[in-house]
């Protein structure tokens, strides 16, 4: 399953809840990259400045990371959070799933207004949540990630979920469209 939506819309929180409930594995590329930065790996040192600017890390790097993590997950269900973020990543994921004989069950698009996600990011206070970076990340989302809606919609897997309300309300809405 994929959780799609603007930065700050609540994908991480909702992915956690879904994984706790269903025993799925939460795979968040942002978390993996932040861990790599903290550990000082070569991936981390390559990604650090890009993340601080709010730009996207190279597709091939991200796809390599995902392939590794999917191997680690084995046959467990996986919730992808913050990936795919570009058309190339979505196509790479399709190829990877095909190779693994797996299918994409659902793409949940979490929606909220730009003002609301900007407010949530400011409240979160991550180093890449400064006003200027937030603005840039929202632009990157609109340009590179939002077009994925048109990629997944014809496949019949996309469901839109209103991302406004309490964490529990949103979780219940997602559960009702998960379809497993
Ligand atoms: P996130 O925690 O999902 O908001 O991601 C934080 C930052 O990590 C992003 O602003 C990007 O710089 C980088 N990042 C995370 N996931 C991806 C991805 N799938 N593709 C490219 N860059 C990513």
- Cα separation of 93 and 83, whole Å? 9
Count how many domains the chain has: 1
The DSSP call for residue 129 is -
- Cα separation of 44 and 34, whole Å? 7
Mean pLDDT along residues 102-121: 94
pLDDT recorded at residue 161:
98
Return all residues near 46 (Cβ < 8 A) that are at least 6 apart.
57, 61
Q: Is the CB of 141 under 6 A from ligand 1?
A: no
Name the residue range of residue 99's domain: 2-178
Question: Which ligand 1 atom is nearest residue 28's CA?
Answer: 3
The pLDDT of residue 43 is above 80: yes
Q: Is the CB of 65 under 6 A from ligand 1?
A: no
Q: For a pLDDT cut of 90, what percent of the chain falls above it?
A: 92
pLDDT recorded at residue 125:
84
72 is catalytic: no
Q: Report yes or no on whether pTM surpasses 0.95.
A: yes
Pairing assessment for the beta strands 107-111 and 78-81 based on DSSP bridges: unpaired
pLDDT band at 109 (very low <50, low <70, confident <90, very high): very high
11 is catalytic: yes
Domain with 163 in it: what CATH number? Answer: 3.40.50.300
């Amino acid at each position: 399953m994929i959780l799609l939506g603007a930065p700050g819309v609540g994908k991480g929180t909702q992915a956690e809840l879904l994984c706790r409930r269903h025993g799925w594995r939460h795979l968040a590329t942002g978390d993996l990259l932040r861990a790599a930065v903290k550990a000082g790996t070569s991936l981390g040192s390559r990604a650090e400045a890009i993340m601080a600017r709010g730009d996207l890390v190279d597709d091939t790097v991200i796809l390599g990371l995902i392939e590794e993590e999917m191997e680690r997950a084995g046959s467990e269900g996986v919730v992808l959070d913050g990936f795919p973020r570009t058309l190339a990543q979505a196509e790479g994921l399709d190829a990877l799933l095909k190779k693994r004989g797996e299918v994409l069950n659902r793409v949940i698009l979490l929606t909220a207004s730009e003002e609301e996600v900007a407010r949530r990011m400011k409240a979160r206070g991550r180093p890449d949540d400064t006003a200027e970076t937030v603005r840039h990340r929202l632009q990157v989302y609109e340009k590179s990630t939002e077009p994925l809606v048109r990629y997944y919609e014809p496949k019949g897997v996309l469901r839109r979920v209103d991302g406004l309300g309490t964490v529990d309300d949103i979780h219940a809405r997602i559960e009702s469209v998960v379809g497993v």
